[in-house]
Structure 1
Amino acid sequence: MAVSVAANGFRWLDILEQEFDKTFVDLDLLLGEIDPDQSEITDEGRGKLTVLSSSWAQLVHKTQTLSQTNAKMEAQLIDTKAEIIETKAEKVAMQQQIKDIMAQLHASQLECQILKNQEIEGADTIRKRLVCHFKKITKFLLCTLFAFKEDQLNRQRSEFKRDAVWEIKANELEKENVKLKNSIINLQSEVYGSRLAAKYLDKELAGRYRNVFEQFSQLIRTHYPQLSVVGENYPPPVYKSVLAQCLSILKMLFLVCIVLGQNPFTIAGLATPSVFQWALQNKIYSCLMLFFFSNSIESFLMSTGAFEIFVNDVPLWSKLQTGHLPSAQDFLQMLQTFQNKENTIGGGGPNIGGMSSSSTFNT
């Protein structure tokens, strides 16, 4: 897993480098469109671009070096973990084997005592230890109780080691799982904060659009009282609207299943994802997370950021094309220009009462 993260780091760096190159070329072309009389601005801008490109190249080089070092360290970390697990398993196997050898020694001492019909020091203690040990000893140990051959000891140690390896790996994975859960909780807290900030930003932007619409409407009523003003939401693309509706239905379905403790995957004959099992165990937290996450995606799908102005179905301004809102003076100038064109086409006359203005905006 660690090596894959390092590989993804190189891929991310390539993507960022491609984006930088594309943006650099766009800026260079944009500087080339500046009027020749203002060549000083072009020269200065291209000088800044040269410095920026040099800094970016050094940054990429240092990042590649760090990524390569990180990849090597991650590989070494994997090897070190494997060696630690191997060493721990060897230690457990040796300890278990020492216990077995001590039990065999005690049994030999008791046998000598019986043969010689004499007591040895600590005989009662040895008997008690043997009683407790023989309850736990396996059939294999009973068969090899008095066998001290090297090959038998090696096989015994290998068996102990094989069992210990899985137990140690399970313990290590459990510790890593706890760390990852804590990291996920911290990341989710940051994501929720970002989503709430984005949500409030969308509301603020929507309020700004509404204020601009009201301001423009008041300008029309003041300067062109004959015009009627109509405001409506700019429709998002059809596929985004369908995706938002499907997402809303899935959200409600999963919320109901989580609250009622039902598993739709079992009903459908599919394997239950671990995420859904966690959601069933943490209903309140998972419902809140699902609600905010799905709402943020729905808002993103339904939001267009548009502020389009039409007069008699003729577009006067498009924020989607220009990237910004018009000023009040620009808005009045656009209406005056449109009025002059209408009067020219219609044969003159100041009457513009037949026109209607529709300002379409989306929050």
Structure 2
Amino acid sequence: MDRAQLILVGLPLFLFCSDIFHLFSPPPPKPAAPHHHHHQPDSQPLIQQQQPSLEFPTQKASGIGFGNTVSIDFCASCSYRGTAVTMKNMLETQFPGINVVLANYPPPLPKRVLSKLVPIVQFGVIGIIVGGEQIFPRLGFAAPPQWYYSMRANRFGSMASTWLLGNFLQSFLQSSGAFEVYCNGEPVFSKLKENRFPGEIELKELVARRISNSRVIDGINGGQWS
């Protein structure tokens, strides 16, 4: 087996092994937010140096959404990021102090595994088109099949069609079509169930209702323990 055939066989196997490793490996930890220390000149009065550190916690703790977290899990391959960012900005404006987290909603495991196999099939078909006359005899075929000659007659068109069709299939397998909203771990809206996106006013009311219910429960629990 010459060098070209080794590359055609080894490259898909390497991509498949690396994709399987990344598929089952845990996500990396989120980096800690950097702390910026602002040094003020010594000539300024001591009161001016302490004023920002005294006002910032008071403003943050007084927000209507302080202590609440909203998670928006969306399909990143479906171009839903713009809608998710719009909803995030709206919630942060309507509920000051709320924590809105955006994350990708992955497809089911079988679709993820199939999406990893698509590039291997693409490289395999392209490799057969390029060097099928040497590959088929090594596989035990006396002569290449008839469909090989049909693809070989239009080599560049067959390779372009294989690449475009594979990319379309991979994009379909990686899409989940999800736009799921959770408030404090409780589901608020599900596009997978409703088959539509939430409106801004609708989502604001749903989150406000969830926050008020949380406050009522916390108040009851606090009264029982007091």
TM interval, short-chain normalised: 0.5 to 0.7
Give the counterpart letter for 1:234 in structure 2: Y
Q: Distance in 1 between matches of 2:163 and 2:137?
A: 23
Answer yes or no: is 1:314 the counterpart of 2:186: yes
Q: Which shifted more, 214-223 or 254-263?
A: 254-263
Q: Distance in 1 between matches of 2:182 and 2:125?
A: 42
Which residue number corresponds to residue 279 of structure 1? 151
> Equivalent of 2:99, from 223, 228, 232?
228
Give the counterpart letter for 2:215 in structure 1: N
Which residue number corresponds to residue 298 of structure 1? 170
> Equivalent of 2:205, from 326, 333, 337?
333
Q: Distance in 2 between matches of 1:283 and 1:311?
A: 54
Q: Distance in 2 between matches of 1:334 and 1:307?
A: 15
Q: Distance in 2 between matches of 1:219 and 1:290?
A: 43
Q: Give the match's secondary structure for 2:219.
A: coil
In structure 1, runs of 5+ residues without a counterpart are 1-204, 349-363
Q: Give the match's secondary structure for 1:232.
A: strand
| Offset at residue 260 of structure 1 (A) | 4.1
Which residue number corresponds to residue 210 of structure 1? 81
Over 3 Å counting, the alpha-carbon distance change for 1:221 and 1:255 in structure 2 is same
* TM-score after normalising by structure 2: 0.57
Q: Distance in 2 between matches of 1:317 and 1:276?
A: 51
Over 3 Å counting, the alpha-carbon distance change for 1:343 and 1:248 in structure 2 is same
Give the counterpart letter for 1:280 in structure 2: R
| Offset at residue 262 of structure 1 (A) | 5.0
| Offset at residue 330 of structure 1 (A) | 0.5
| Offset at residue 309 of structure 1 (A) | 1.0
Moved over 6 A (4+): none
Q: Distance in 2 between matches of 1:229 and 1:286?
A: 47
Q: Distance in 2 between matches of 1:225 and 1:265?
A: 66
Q: Distance in 2 between matches of 1:215 and 1:241?
A: 28
Q: Distance in 2 between matches of 1:263 and 1:281?
A: 17
Aligned ranges 1:12-23 → 2 under 5 Å: none
Which residue number corresponds to residue 219 of structure 1? 90
Give the counterpart letter for 1:241 in structure 2: R
Q: Give the match's secondary structure for 2:100.
A: strand
Aligned ranges 1:57-136 → 2 under 5 Å: none
* TM-score after normalising by structure 1: 0.37
Answer yes or no: is 1:347 the counterpart of 2:219: yes
The structure number with the bigger radius of gyration is: 1
Percent of aligned pairs with the same residue? 29
| Offset at residue 288 of structure 1 (A) | 0.5
**What is the root-mean-square deviation in Å for CA atoms of aligned residues?**
2.3
| Offset at residue 276 of structure 1 (A) | 2.5
Q: How many residues align structurally?
A: 144
Q: Distance in 1 between matches of 2:181 and 2:145?
A: 48
